[in-house]
Amino acid sequence: MPRSLTSSPQPTFLGVECGGTRTVALLVDAAGRLLERVEAGPANWRLLGGSGLRRHLRALARKFSNPAAIAIGMAGVRGEDDREKVRQVATSVWRRTPIHTCHDLETALWAAGGSPDVTPRVIVLSGTGSCCYGRNPGGKTVKMGGWGHLLGDKGSGFEIGLRALKAVVYFLDRDNQWTRLGERILGSLQLNDPEQLIGWVQTAGKEQVAALAVQVFSAADERDPIARDILRGAAAILAKDAAACAGRLTPHGGPVEFVFAGSVLQKQTKFAAQVRRLIQERFPGARFTKLNRETAWGAVELARQSRTGFLLAAGASHATPAVGQNSTAMATAQSRTTTTLADAGGDWLEARPTSPTEQRNSRSLNLDRMSVDEVIGLMLSEDAKLPAAIRRERAVIGRLIGWVVRSFKQGGRLFYVGAGTSGRLGILDASECPPTFRTPPEMVQGIIAGGQQAIWSAVEGAEDDGEAGGRAITFRGITRKDVVVGIAASGRTPFVWGALREAKRRKAKTALLCFNPHLQIAAKDRLSAVICPRIGPEVLTGSTRLKSGTATKLILNMITTIAMVRIGKVVGNLMVDLNPSNVKLRDRAVRIVATLTQCSVEECRTALIKSGWDVKRAIQRLGGRANNAR
C-alpha cells in the first residue's frame, strides 16, 4: 500500500525529480526516513507541456495523495515563468499542499549539501546531457549549458556517442578502415555493416545515441586512439565550462567545491579524474566531491524547507501556502498568482470587463438550430460591419504606416507579434512580402508564441509566456529603427505584451492591434499607437479566427501594401518589384513591363531575362519609359 499522510502519524514530505531519463519520487517522514520510492518515465518540461505534466503528476498523486509539502525539480525549466507554470500544474493536482518548484540542477545542488555557507559550490553534470550550475554564499547562481543535445550538451554522453559515430565513418571514408570502435558500435546495435548506421541514426533518440558512450569508454580502455581523442575533447570542454561557471561565482579566485553528477562522471572514474585534473589547473584550491545520493533527495530537503516557510535566495522558491496558513501568506501567494496571470499588460487587469471577443453575440444565440443558409447570411452581415469599424481607426492606422515607411527608408524592419490565429496572420502577411515586393525576408517578420511548431499546431501555454515574448524581441536584435506591432484580439496576451515591453525598452515604435475597447493600459506600458476597431462579439463565441481574424488580415494588408507603395515598389497599381519565381508570375512580369513601357511582349521577355527577371531593371533597360505609361 502506498504511504501517505493518512497512513502515517507524522507529516510526510515528497521530493520529485523529473529528469530527462526518468522520474524519481521519494516520500520521507519528519525524521528523514525513506518511506517509499517510486520511479516513472522521463519528464522534461519542454517536451511534456502543461497537459502532459498534469497526467504525469496525477499518476504520482495516486500513490502519494496527501504529503505535508512537495518539491519538484524538473528538467527543461529555465526561468521564473517556467517554474510558476510547473507550480500551477502541480497545484491543480495536489490542491491543499505547499509546493516548491525549481529546475533539476537546483535539486542536485541541495542533494550535494544545500545552499553553500562559505565556499561556492558548482555542480558539474555529465550524463545523457550536460550542464554546470553553481551558487555562491551570497545567493548568486550561474548556469552554463542545458541547451539540449542539438545546441549544447558539451561533454555529455550524447556528444561522446555522436562524435564516435562521426569519427568511425570519417576514418572509413579516409582510410578505408573500419576501426575497433566502429566494430564495438555495430555490435552493440546489432547492425551488420556501416551502411545500416544511416537508417539507425535517422530514428535514434537522444538516449540511444548517448548509450554509445559506453562503447567509447571501453574502446579507450583498449587504447583505441580515436576513442581516447574523443574523450580528451569531452573532458577539456567540461573542465572549461566548470571553471568558467566557478569564475563567475568568485571572480577574484578562491576555493570552490566541484560536485560531479551524472552517469558519465560518476561511473567512468578515469574520465572523471581527467576532468578533475583539468579543473585543478585553473582552480588549484578546488575541492571535489561526487554526488553520492539521488538528486531527488535534494527535492526532499526543499520540500521540508518549504514546509517551514524557508525561501531560497535569488527568487528560486515557488511555494503555495496550504489551506489554513496565515492570511498574509495566502494574500501574498494570491497576489503573486494574479501578477503572473496579469502579466499581459500590467495594472489594467484590475476589475476588467469581459472583452467583446469573449461575449456572446445576441444574433447567434440559436446558431446550432439555424439553417445553413441562415448562418451564411448571418456571418456575411457580421463581416459587413468590419469596413466601417476599421475606417474609424484609419487615422491611427495611417500614423502607423508612416512609421513603417520611415523605418523601411532607414533600413529598419516591421515585426508582427501574436499568438494562435493572430500570430499566424502576422506570419502570413510577412511571408507574402518577399514574393510580392521582392523584399528581403528580414524586412517584415512574424513572431508567433511557441515558435515554428505553433504555425500549424497549438503549443500549450505558449501565449501565456511573457518572458518568451521579451526574449523573442531580444534575439531578433530590435532597435529604435524598427516597428513592432502586437496582435491580440483581447489585447491581453502575455506573450505579446512581453514583446511590446521589450521593444519599447529598446526605443522601437510599438503598436497594438486588438478588438477590446474596454482595454485600459497602465501609464508605464503606453504604446506609440493602439488600433482598436469596435467589431462586437463573434458569431461563434470566443472564436477570434472569424471577425477578429478577418479584420486583422484587412488591416495588415493595408500596413504592408501602403508602406510598399510609399517606398517605391509600385507604379500605378502595378507591382514593379515582384519576384517572378514561377510561370504565372513571369507572365505577370512580362505584362507589367509591357504596360509600363509599351514595348512588345518579346522585347519585354528578353529584357527581363537579361535583367535576371528584375522588373525595374528591365524597364530601365527598355528606356525607362515607365513614368509615361501610367
How do residues 251-270 score in pLDDT, each as one tens digit? 777 788 899 988 899 889 99
- CA dist., res. 617 & res. 347, Å (int): 53
- Does residue 424 have a pLDDT over 90? yes
For the chain, what is the mean pLDDT?
Answer: 85
pLDDT digits (tens, 9 = 90+) for 428-468: 999 999 989 989 888 998 999 988 778 888 777 789 889 88
Is the CB of residue 106 less than 8 Å from the CB of residue 77? no
pTM for this predicted structure: 0.61
Catalytic residue, candidates 36, 294, 358, 432:
432
Is it the case that residue 69 has pLDDT exceeding 70?
yes
The top-scoring range by mean pLDDT among 104-108, 260-264, 317-321, 379-383 is 379-383
566 burial level (CB within 10 Å; 0-12, 13-18, 19+): middle
Rounded to an integer, the average pLDDT of 582-610 is 89
Cα separation, 322 vs 343, whole angstroms: 24
β-bridge partners, 34: 28
| Portion of the chain with pLDDT greater than 90, in percent | 44
Check residue 371 and give its pLDDT.
Answer: 95
Question: Over 80: is that where the pLDDT of 194 sits?
Answer: yes
Lookup: cell for 477: 536584435
225-239 average pLDDT score:
95
Contact in structure between 519 and 491 (CB atoms under 8 Å): yes
Q: What is the pLDDT of residue 4?
A: 43
Asked about 463 being catalytic, the answer comes back as yes
Let me know if 460 is exposed, middle or buried by CB neighbors in 10 A (0-12, 13-18, 19+). Answer: middle
Q: Quick check: 242 and 122 in contact, CB under 8 A?
A: yes
Contact criterion met (CB below 8 Å) for 135 and 141: yes
Q: 30 and 10 in contact (C-beta within 8 Å)?
A: yes
Instruction: Map grid coordinates 501574498 to a residue.
Output: 332
* Residue 602 is a catalytic residue: no
Question: 510: burial class by Cβ within 10 Å (0-12, 13-18, 19+)?
Answer: buried
Kind and range of the H or E run holding 85: helix 80-93
Say if residue 526's pLDDT is above 50: yes
**pLDDT tens digits, 138-162:** 888 888 887 888 888 899 999 999 9
The rounded distance, in Å, linking the Cα atoms of 53 and 45 is 7
Burial of 603 (0-12, 13-18, 19+ CB in 10 A): middle
Give the Cα separation of 309 and 73 in Å (integer).
18
Residue 579: which residues within 8 A CB-CB, separation 6 or more?
A: 434, 435, 436, 438, 585, 613
Residue type, 626: A
Neighbours of 399 (CB within 10 A): 15
Q: Which three cell numbers stand for residue 491?
A: 489585447
What is the separation of C-alpha 102 from the centre of its chain, rounded to a whole number of angstroms? 17
HEC letters along 315-363: HCCCCCCCCCCCHHHHHHHHHHHHHHHCCCCHHHHCCCCCCHHHCCCHH
Q: Do residues 343 and 351 lie in contact, with contact meaning Cβ atoms separated by under 8 Å?
A: no
Overall average pLDDT of the 493-505 stretch: 95
Cell numbers at residue 177, please? 578502415
pLDDT value at position 307?
61
Residues 584-595, mean pLDDT to the nearest whole number: 90
Catalytic site residue from 17, 84, 463, 502: 463
In this predicted structure, the answer to whether residue 95 has a pLDDT above a threshold of 50 is yes
Average pLDDT over residues 365-392: 94
Q: Which of 399, 422, 410 is nearest to 559 (CA)?
A: 399
For residue 607, count CB atoms less than 10 angstroms from its CB and return exposed for 0-12, middle for 13-18, buried for 19 or more. Answer: buried
Helix (H) or strand (E) holding 37: strand 34-40
Domains of the chain: 5-112+295-339 (3.30.420.40), 115-290 (3.30.420.40), 367-566 (3.40.50.10490), 573-628 (1.10.8.1080)
Written as one letter, the residue type at 301 is E
166 pLDDT higher than 70: yes
Please answer whether residues 216 and 166 qualify as being in contact, where contact means their C-beta atoms are separated by less than 8 angstroms.
Answer: no
Q: Confidence class of residue 112 from pLDDT cuts 50, 70 and 90?
A: confident
SS3 category, 494 = helix
Look up residue 524 and give its DSSP letter: G
Q: Inform me whether the pLDDT recorded for 324 exceeds 80.
A: no
Residue 630: is its pLDDT beyond 70?
no
Whether residue 319 is predicted with pLDDT greater than 60 in this model: the reply is: no
